[in-house]
Structure 1
Amino acid sequence: MFQEARPLWPAGLADAMNITCGIRAKFQAEPQTPALVRVTASSRYRIYVNGLFCGHGPAAGPHGYYRVDEWDVTPYLGSGSNDVAIETAGYNVNSFYTLDQPSFVQAEVEQSGQIAAATGSAAHPFAVFVLPERMRRVQRYSFQRAFIEAYALTPDTHAWRTSDALPASPAQAEIAEEKRLLPRRVSYPRFDVAAPHAVLATGTFGKSGSPAAPWRDRSISSVGPAFKGFPLEELEVVPTDEIGELAMTGWNREARRYEGQALQLLAGETALLAFGRNSSGFIGMEFTVSAKSRIALTFDEILTEDGDVDHLRLGCANVIYAECEPGTYTLESIEPYTLQYLKVLVLEGDCKVTGCSIREYANPDADRGTFASSDAALNAIFEAARETFRQNAVDVFMDCPSRERAGWLCDSYFTARVEADLTGSSVIERNFFENYALPESFAFLPEGMLPMCYPADHNDGVFIPNWSLWFVLQLEEFRDRGGDEATIASLLPRIEALFQYFEGFRNEFGLLENLESWVFIEWSKANDFIGGINYPTNMLYAAALEAAGRIYGADAYLEEAAYVKQTVREHSFDGAFFVDQAIEDEQGELEILDHRTEVCQYYAAYFGIADAEELPVWFDSLLQDFSPSRDKDAAFVADIGGIHPANAFIGYYLRMELLSRHGATAQLLEEIKAFFGKMAERTGTLWEHNRTQASCNHGFASHVARALYRDALGIKSLNSQRGKLTVAFTDNALASCSGTLPTPDGDIALSWRAEGDTIFYRLSAPSSLTVEIENHSGKSLVKEEEER
């Protein structure tokens, strides 16, 4: 993929933790003459051309492989001499976001087919530096990500990007071994820059008379051989400790619109700014200090009850720290973060803030799909789902763009559906599966097991066996979405090895028993009943066997699935509900325990263990006696036969599917509004739970967009592999709805309105699709127009 560039890094530092490398080259160009920068790196890089930001990457790839980006830099060029500068942060720590692999950067500038500069080139090389401004020995940002950003700045810190000023003595470059390269495929973000909407407050702070105990999250306390980082006693600064000793001494809550006005702050003063909604990207600030100063930026998705920022709420260190000599600065984080509120604290000296921003790092294709209904609350929820997706699907399906940026299985099953709905493609999903297909093996995991999230390092050997089964279910849907057949075929050995792994845990009944590691159902009481035979896990196991059988035409998997499903029915159903667990007693006899959870019932319904025809009383109870908004107290549990309540993921998401399948669309839309409405209003994104103790921007929550397309608009299903579109009209209590769903062959556009006993609709779809119309609304249908 590269013509001349070779991978390199400052000599002797390829395995060192938290090194920031800079490379720079000058080249001659003419404006509007096509030019690109081709680049990849380990761990993260950003590019400046003539001092202007123009890219960040690379896209996620598996261990031992690196995706190559090609940035069109033509709009940034001037006549004559031009500067390209690339900063690369090489972390060399295990995480769920960036891989623990030796640091390197490989880049070249191409103009009109000729290489103007290339790493490792003798004729037109890049100069190489170790950038001194970023402090190395700092705490981890979180258990799941690498290091916080802490800086020691001088006014000429960034001058090297656009001049011959040297940030440090040039480093001797060491050429690394050749890398295995992959195409990026996924779209390049637009990097839109947004300013805060308001200055919510200003205030003063000082040392607390009774500071809380220092924050000793596992990202600090667990540093050691299995979890890499710098020990606490070696850290240059510990911003979370210093900020933890502070307390607000006064607030001026007179909010005012932010219009770029300067904010003059002295030591012990703070300003609180609001961006209007949750955003993910690179935090920027322009400021001047007249004396040696120390500044901290803290941020979060929400405010505390007393209107402040809790930078530790999410279990990560939401802080950027800077020590500054007198001068004027433009500082932008090299890592993306998620926030709605930003707090500037002057710990020492002074600070005149003259600009503030977030450069968004988000999917650029998520605005292709549209949705509008007669219910404003549903419209707001759809837009929050879109926003949640675009921030969680840059190059891999992430759980959250903040604490982890990790590509979790099961989460991906739901988010992948939204990619197809909003963007009309499954290119991220293709990369997602390719990342799992290419490595020869997965370190620290048993043979055959798939990582619970990937690309990621799992040095502690922890895995979720259940999540590997969701991988199989997603793969079948990927095929139905028209997914790449070569990728699907390449994963057959992975699937076979996975089921061979599970064979070792099948008992005399043919059920999985006493699975290893972290058996996970959801964040609810259900996770207390995972020992022995866990019936929800076996329900999922049967579904995965079925999916594998259909994907690869393997009758043996289908037969095993049928056997497991029948055995689960016989063991788990107690005459009223399905129980979660059975164990062997002291005599070796199977004892089916009286543990019943709401989510177990949803597993049974979703995976076809039972349905409304077989068990109508049970099924009716699921629809009528449970809901996300019902009180989840002890009295409720007692009233519903001692059944423990479900949590958001995955229980309530399975419930949404259950209601949809049963045609209870009006009930479903009301439950959607009750559950998601406050999230859309408060953060503009959708949350991990129904409370704010965790992420308020979680990828799987964007799945509600699928529900709205299907159950409000009426686009019931699209099978791209078979070329079939099904539209279903139901009695969902809406007066009207319209929307577009993009496909590779063009948009599907549907709009309808209900007038009395008639639904008037318009539908256009690509000619490649066969359209089937279903009417479950109880009204007559009138097609006003159809364009094919």
Structure 2
Amino acid sequence: MFKKISLLLCLAFLTSTIKAQVVPVNPDLLKKQWTAWWITCPDVAQRDYGVYHFRKDFNLTTPPKKFIIHVSADNRYRLFVNGKDICNGPARGDLYNWYFESIDIAPYLKAGANVIAAQVWNMGTLAPVAQISNQTAFVLQGDTEAEAFVNTNSTWKVMQNKAYKPCSIDNGERLKTYMVIGPGDDVNANFYPWNWEKLNYKTTNWKKPQQIANPVTAGYGTDNLWTLVPRNIPLITEKLQRMGKIARFTGIKTINNFLSGSTSLTIPANSKVSILVDQSFNTVAYPELVVSSGKGSSIKVTYAEALFKDGVKGNRNEIAGKEIIGNFDIFNPDGAEKRLFRPLWLRTYRFIQLDIVTKEKPLVINDFYGMQTGYPFKPVASFASNDYSLQDIWKVGWRTAELCAGETYYDCPYYEQLQYEGDTRIQALISLYVTGDDRLMRKSLLDFYHSRVPEGLTQGRYPSNRLQVIPPFSLYWVSMVHDYWLYRNDEEFLKQFLLPMEEVLKWYENNLDHQKQMLGPMKWWNFTDWNTAFDFGVPDGANDGNSSIITLQYAYTLQQA
């Protein structure tokens, strides 16, 4: 049967560059020391696990028309203005390229009392492999003298949130795979400082923060702990995403559709209840669970892409006789009304299981939903075919691409959330063709450029707090630069890569077997692909000489360079 296929691309997007930030940065801040301070919580181990709250209360006689601030933290932060969640960050980078976000918060300010507050966390040695860190810290800098009175310094206040402790720290062992996304959150609501980010909260027992150092940007300073650079991608978005359906439940006689948000579910006292939710598709989101009463109860929230039977996934639509195994969070309610649990970092799931144990008081689930999150791609290309199966493949393919794009491209959003050249080259081309948005592509080119080791090779994945060198992936990076050159007239951006590309190719030239006109023995992990023929993904001849596959890839890359 003849199949008609059409693919429409907006070519204008393939030849123009999109600006990274809509909020400008005062040029003076990019060439001199900031007047704000990096601040931290005193009397805590600065490189250990911890969750902290910072806030600055102030008054305004009139609401400003513009009020630009620049914000960053280590490991991460979530910023609130007068109780409203404004943004989170910083975009992942490294200590030489530590990103800061620029936000105009004027729309959220008012005449009279105001508060800027930030939740900051450091996962310590449990942090995701994609998270590079120095120590716990937070900084906020006003763009000009008009905003300088909110600069972080000793006039702010800080407290450690002792409601948090890490859980789900054995993911790799339980799932029998490489899983490095960081721990889950075990939160005891009895110790949580509820409403800490809102006006009129009493900070009587909060501490004066410790001032660490004045921030500097790239090219300046000495003895730098972090070298700041402006964020070069848009802010990550969030939107309400209702859960799918209740797939099964045990421990309770009947169950209503509390997932709709229009009704609540009461879990009786002294019960042990399990509820499996099927989103019906994989998603990346911040799950939000709202509960009331239930003092002394516990709720374990487990996330999975698929269910398992005897350690095997199989058909994801089949759940009979299968169990959930995955990363998890734990929330322990304090008995108050409409307490919100939300993990610090995003979660990936198709299935979520709530395992609930109540004590003397019943627990009310008021609502359960997700805040879907990811890079804000906007498709401008379209695909059409009279073969409807191809239409479905297009939709699934693009949804997969969206799931694998956040502050970096992800190899996978569930297990690793790491950016590898071998995946990223394909992902960058897909997002460029479908959306015309090159900002995440540009950031990935820079990320790998920043990852280079003394031999001239890029690291195999980056950002990463563990060293991994995959020489064939350095060739992919050279190909990525070539891809960008094909679609963008941007010589000023590209010229910084010329010498690094030459160093990559020189490494291969130095490893040539001139007698056989092929590559000789090579060091590091010469991964090509996972299959049954290659030992740990490495083709014959890569380590001991004369690999045809990698030699051909080298020749292909030379043609592009």
Q: Common fold, TM-score beyond 0.5?
A: yes
Instruction: Determine whether 1:91 maps to 2:123.
Output: yes
User: Structure 1 residue aligned with 2:160, among 108, 125, 130?
Assistant: 130
1:156 deviation in Å? 5.4
1:254 deviation in Å? 9.1
One-letter code of the match for 1:364? P
Distance 1:369 1:53 in 2: 32
Residue of structure 2 equivalent to 1:519: 526
Between 1:494-503 and 1:191-200, the stretch displaced more is 494-503
Residue of structure 1 equivalent to 2:549: 536
* Distance 1:83-1:452 versus aligned 2 partners, 3 A rule: same
Distance 1:372 1:89 in 2: 46
Distance 1:48 1:437 in 2: 34
Residue of structure 1 equivalent to 2:315: none
1:488 deviation in Å? 2.2
Residue of structure 1 equivalent to 2:241: 194
Distance 2:114 2:445 in 1: 39
Distance 2:254 2:547 in 1: 55
Residue of structure 2 equivalent to 1:258: 260
Whether the aligned pair in 2 keeps the contact of 1:110 and 1:117 (CA below 8 Å) is no
Residue of structure 1 equivalent to 2:331: 322
Instruction: Determine whether 1:394 maps to 2:406.
Output: yes
CA root-mean-square deviation: 3.0
User: Structure 2 residue aligned with 1:500, among 500, 506, 516?
Assistant: 506
One-letter code of the match for 1:330? L
Residue of structure 2 equivalent to 1:289: 293
Residue of structure 2 equivalent to 1:452: 460
Secondary structure in 1 aligned to 2:374?
coil
1:397 deviation in Å? 1.6
One-letter code of the match for 1:68? F
Distance 1:167 1:309 in 2: 51
1:255 deviation in Å? 7.7
Distance 2:415 2:322 in 1: 16
Secondary structure in 2 aligned to 1:471?
helix
* Distance 1:525-1:155 versus aligned 2 partners, 3 A rule: closer
* Distance 1:336-1:322 versus aligned 2 partners, 3 A rule: same
Instruction: Determine whether 1:11 maps to 2:42.
Output: yes
User: Structure 1 residue aligned with 2:347, among 334, 337, 347?
Assistant: 337
Residue of structure 1 equivalent to 2:430: 418
Distance 1:15 1:141 in 2: 25
Distance 1:370 1:72 in 2: 34
* Distance 1:36-1:191 versus aligned 2 partners, 3 A rule: farther
Whether the aligned pair in 1 keeps the contact of 2:52 and 2:158 (CA below 8 Å) is yes
One-letter code of the match for 1:488? L
Distance 1:176 1:136 in 2: 29
Question: Tell me, which stretches of 5 or more residues in structure 2 are unaligned?
Answer: 1-24, 173-178, 216-225, 309-317
Instruction: Determine whether 1:184 maps to 2:231.
Output: yes
- In the TM superposition, 1:440-589 aligns within 5 A as 442=453, 447-459=455-467, 462-482=468-488, 484-507=490-513, 508-528=515-535, 529-531=539-541, 532=544, 533-548=546-561
Distance 1:76 1:141 in 2: 40
* Distance 1:346-1:308 versus aligned 2 partners, 3 A rule: farther
1:12 deviation in Å? 5.6
One-letter code of the match for 2:135? P
Distance 2:156 2:353 in 1: 38
1:109 deviation in Å? 5.5
One-letter code of the match for 2:400? T
* Distance 1:277-1:168 versus aligned 2 partners, 3 A rule: farther
* Distance 1:85-1:413 versus aligned 2 partners, 3 A rule: same
Residue of structure 2 equivalent to 1:302: 306
Whether the aligned pair in 2 keeps the contact of 1:262 and 1:352 (CA below 8 Å) is yes
Secondary structure in 1 aligned to 2:238?
coil
Of Structure 1 and Structure 2, the greater helix share is in: 1
1:32 deviation in Å? 7.6
Residue of structure 2 equivalent to 1:764: none
* Distance 1:135-1:95 versus aligned 2 partners, 3 A rule: closer
Distance 1:537 1:469 in 2: 10
1:343 deviation in Å? 1.4
Whether the aligned pair in 2 keeps the contact of 1:160 and 1:167 (CA below 8 Å) is no
Whether the aligned pair in 1 keeps the contact of 2:236 and 2:376 (CA below 8 Å) is yes
Instruction: Determine whether 1:101 maps to 2:134.
Output: yes
Aligned sequence identity (%):
18
- Specify which structure has the bigger relative contact order, considering alpha-carbon pairs within 8 angstroms and separated by 6 or more residues: 2
Secondary structure in 1 aligned to 2:457?
coil
TM-score after normalising by structure 2: 0.79
Secondary structure in 2 aligned to 1:144?
coil
Residue of structure 1 equivalent to 2:446: 434
Residue of structure 1 equivalent to 2:194: 158
Distance 2:145 2:393 in 1: 47
Secondary structure in 2 aligned to 1:154?
helix
1:344 deviation in Å? 1.1
Instruction: Determine whether 1:80 maps to 2:96.
Output: no
Distance 1:257 1:46 in 2: 26
Residue of structure 1 equivalent to 2:87: 55
Residue of structure 1 equivalent to 2:219: none
Distance 1:484 1:139 in 2: 44
* Distance 1:52-1:273 versus aligned 2 partners, 3 A rule: farther
1:98 deviation in Å? 0.8
One-letter code of the match for 1:522? D
1:309 deviation in Å? 7.7
Question: Tell me, which stretches of 5 or more residues in structure 1 are unaligned?
Answer: 205-249, 549-788
1:296 deviation in Å? 0.6
Distance 1:286 1:108 in 2: 34
Residue of structure 2 equivalent to 1:28: 59
1:171-203 Cα distance to aligned partner (Å, 9 max, x none): 542313633221212122331121213233321
Distance 2:180 2:479 in 1: 26
Secondary structure in 1 aligned to 2:65?
coil
* Distance 1:200-1:384 versus aligned 2 partners, 3 A rule: same
* Distance 1:261-1:198 versus aligned 2 partners, 3 A rule: farther
1:363-407 Cα distance to aligned partner (Å, 9 max, x none): 223333333333332223222223222232222221122221111
1:752-771 Cα distance to aligned partner (Å, 9 max, x none): xxxxxxxxxxxxxxxxxxxx
TM-score after normalising by structure 1: 0.58
* Distance 1:55-1:61 versus aligned 2 partners, 3 A rule: same
* Distance 1:509-1:298 versus aligned 2 partners, 3 A rule: same
1:40-97 Cα distance to aligned partner (Å, 9 max, x none): 1221211122222221211122332211112343443444222221111123437432
Secondary structure in 2 aligned to 1:284?
strand
One-letter code of the match for 1:175? I
One-letter code of the match for 2:285? G
1:420 deviation in Å? 1.3
* Distance 1:489-1:65 versus aligned 2 partners, 3 A rule: same
1:203-232 Cα distance to aligned partner (Å, 9 max, x none): 13xxxxxxxxxxxxxxxxxxxxxxxxxxxx
Distance 1:537 1:424 in 2: 31
Distance 1:336 1:469 in 2: 32
Whether the aligned pair in 2 keeps the contact of 1:284 and 1:359 (CA below 8 Å) is yes
One-letter code of the match for 2:479? L
Residue of structure 1 equivalent to 2:150: 117
Whether the aligned pair in 2 keeps the contact of 1:272 and 1:343 (CA below 8 Å) is yes
1:144-185 Cα distance to aligned partner (Å, 9 max, x none): 233221112228533211132349642542313633221212
1:335 deviation in Å? 0.2
1:9-62 Cα distance to aligned partner (Å, 9 max, x none): 223646422221211112335568333442112212111222222212111223
Whether the aligned pair in 1 keeps the contact of 2:76 and 2:120 (CA below 8 Å) is yes
